Every structure is written in C-alpha cells, then in structure tokens.
Copies of this chain bind each other. A is one copy, B any other.
C-alpha cells in the first residue's frame, strides 16, 4: 500500500512523482521542468531521434495531444505515463521478481484488486496529498470512480468482503500500478508501481518487525548494504502522547500528522503556521517540534514516562530486530510520522544514507482503517515500496542489472522450400524446453549470425537441403565457434 505520498516515485520533496529515476522508458523524454536534465543525460535506451521526428510531424514539442490531418498520431504515451519497451520490461520483471521472491520467502500470498475503484474508498478529509491528487472521474453510469492512488484501501475492502471467513493472521502482498492526477504541473509522473506487504490480525509489533525484515531482505537481495540504506522508525504514539499532554483533542491528530510530515520539505515556520491555522497553540507546537528532535529511546522514555506505549513498542521492536539480525539497519527518528492519515502506531520509512533521494518505502500500523470503512477494526500493518526511487538508487550505486534478451537456438531454413522442415525442427526443440527463434524470412548468413549474436543464442541451427536429405542439420555452437552436422533426432 502507499503509506505516504513519499513513496510515489517521489516523496521527500514537494514533487513526489517527478522522479528522474524513471525506467529507461520514454516517459522522461516527455518530461519538462526539473526532470528534463536527467532525461537528457541518462536515457540511452530511448530513441530520442525517433521521438523528435514524431514531434516534428505533430508539430508540438511540449504538449503533443492530438493528430494533425494526415500526420502521425502522437506516439508518446499519455503525459506522466510510461511505455515499457522490451529492455524496460526485462528490468521491471526483474524488480517485480525480487519483490515476489521476498514475499514468498516470508510466506505471503499475493492478491490483486481492480486498478479502477469506487472513489469513496479513497476519500479522506485529513488533507493528505494522496487524496488531494486523486485521479478520479465520473463514469458513463454517473458513478464516481478513481484510478487507485494506493493499494491499502483495496486490501481493506477485500478483508471486509471476506469478513469472518478470512483466517487470521492473513499475510498478503501485491504489486500493482497506482495513479495520481495533478492538474497544473508538468513533467511529473502520474503512475508508478508499488509493492505492498500487509499483515492482518497481529496486534503486536512482531508484525512490523516481520515487515521490516522483508524490506531489509529485499535490500540485501539487490545488493544494498546497511551503509547504503537504512530504515527510520518511530511511532505515531509519540506525537499522540505529546499532543495529549498538551490537551489537543484526538480528532486533530491525523491532520497534525499530515502537517508535521511536511517538516523536511517545507521551512519550519511554514509548518508552524499550518499548525497555528489548525488551532494548535504555540506552546504545543514548540513541544511537538522539540519532541520530534529526540534521537534516543532513553530520552524519549524520560519525556513520555515509564508507562509510555510508544517507548514499549519501540523497545520491543528493536529487540526483535536484533533477533532477526537487522538492528543496524534501523534508526530511531520520531520526526518520521508518514503522510497518510490512517496510521496509528509504528511508522517507518526506508532512506538512502547519503540523503540524496526521497523515501524508498514507507509503512506502519493502521489498526482503525476497517472501522473507518464501517467494519469491525482489526490490527493491520504493512508497507508500500515504489518502483521509482529504488531504481534510481540502484542505478546510482551501479547495482542496476541489465537483463539481456536471450534464446537457446536460432533456427534458419536455408531456402523457402525448407521452411516447413525448419518449422518442425523448431517445434521439436521447443517441446524439449528450449527457447527458439525461428527465422521466418529469407536472410543472408551474415544476418543470421548477427541476429543470433544479438539474441545471445547458444546455437545456430541451419536447415539446408543436402543435410536435410540425410536427416541432418548443421549446428553451430556460438560459444565454442564449433560446427557439425547433427542428426535431427540427436538435436536435443
């Protein structure tokens, strides 16, 4: 789920979607604004020339929306969205594969829900950016619908739908596309993919500890160390206790969190002003901001007293982290509150140690979301992990793989009459589990060799008339530069 707009390929800035670290796809070419530089400098996979040509035909550089008479259609995807050419798709499949592998290692089950949901699922009044930027519209049946901005509300809907028939605890994950809409700005992404893991039905911080273990496991799998990244951890109960000490009514809590979350992208006096507008007295504001500067559990304990739930939860969480072996990846930081209204306890966010990027992921406990939907509450915790910042980080660290396209065999009929024979050879090899590119046209041998090389093929299988008459084909082993005639039945 999207715990916070900060995950959304954006985050610790005011422009969560405008990550320069898009896939290698073409969206960034379209970007204007602060994204343009990155687009121009690191886009080897994008056919800039082709794009420019298309633009010229359409005649609109910054805002190509339609087709001129007899001209080429706009070949770019809608603004803020991405195409996935095969090289982009291989990277996406690699990343999603890592998400899924970690989830499976933790025994989680995958679910999905429609990318288009009823708008009511996302309407909240706490001033979150995520709900302010809802990609919503009215369908032709006059129903208010929205392209989902996050996955958590859909998860909650599914949990409510199953009701008491759902065995608890439930450990579910999802990888889905999420959308947002901003009217006035440019060069910012309107969609991203997000990995979510959620645990339903576990009241203790053991749930959060397990979720954090999954995040750290993912980091390790993709080659990141605790010197590269960490996870800041706190609890909403810290802020809540301070607000309660100052007599701020509980109804204001979610709104205060949303405002306080802006601390690292707005100047402090702007945040203070927003809190004043909300009616928070100056002394309370000072108290809150000073509590958020605490950096040790001992100090927190002195502030909140010996019976503090926040201190107990965090202490326990760090004990568990030590048991798992990932304690050194965690940093206690009460300034982390996350920007979603529904969190109630532990909150956390992944960050890069160099502090260059926005939050890598974020999550926490949300024990009252089902109640907000009119159901019975159940303890729930989870995280959202977007596909943009992690790719940016891996690229920067030189850890981003470039999975190649490859096949086992390239089969080439040497003349037209031999195509049915070559088809039979291809069938035989595929049946044996090999991936086979069958050449479907008359091509020169030079082309076939280059083609096989481009496809990283291990063998080139040539079907020629004289060998075929003897029930044989010529097999070139492209690694060993070795060639021999092989009887068809020995091919595999």
Contacts and interface: CB of A to CB of B under 8 A. Distances in A.
A272 interface: no
B437 A107 contact: yes
B435 A104 contact: yes
Given A118-B74, A162-B50, A374-B71, A113 B140 contact: no
Q: Provide the main secondary structure of the chain A interface.
A: mixed
Q: Report which residue of A105, A405, A422 has the largest number of chain B beta carbons within 10 angstroms of its beta carbon.
A: A105
A40 interface: no
A483 B280 CA distance: 61
A26 B161 contact: yes
B78 A117 contact: yes
A111 B407 CA distance: 17
B66 A163 contact: no
Interface residues of A, number: 116
Nearest to A87: B109
Contacts of A222: none
A51 B319 contact: no
Given A47-B161, A47-B166, A85-B158, 17 more contacts: A67-B374, A73-B373, A73-B374, A75-B160, A81-B116, A83-B158, A84-B111, A86-B109, A106-B437, A115-B115, A115-B177, A116-B147, A116-B191, A139-B181, A207-B440, A210-B440, A325-B427
Interface of A: 26, 47, 49-51, 53-54, 57, 65-67, 70-79, 81-86, 89-90, 92-93, 104-107, 109-118, 120-121, 135, 137-141, 143, 145, 147, 154, 157-158, 160-167, 169, 171-172, 177, 179, 181, 183, 191, 199, 202-204, 206-207, 209-210, 213, 217, 319-320, 322-325, 373-375, 405, 407, 410, 419-424, 426-427, 430, 433-438, 440-441, 454-455
Contacts of A322: 420
A114 B81 contact: yes
B107 A438 contact: yes
B420 A323 contact: yes
How many chain copies does the complex carry?
Answer: 2
A66 B167 contact: no
A324 B427 CA distance: 6
Given A183-B141, A202-B441, A213-B423, A51 B161 contact: yes
A268 to B, nearest CB: 33
A164 B79 CA distance: 24
Contacts of A67: 120, 374
Contact of A405 (B109, B113, B373): B109
Given A83-B158, A374-B72, A54 B163 contact: yes
A429 to B, nearest CB: 9
Nearest to A410: B107
A160 to B, nearest CB: 5
A113 B83 contact: yes
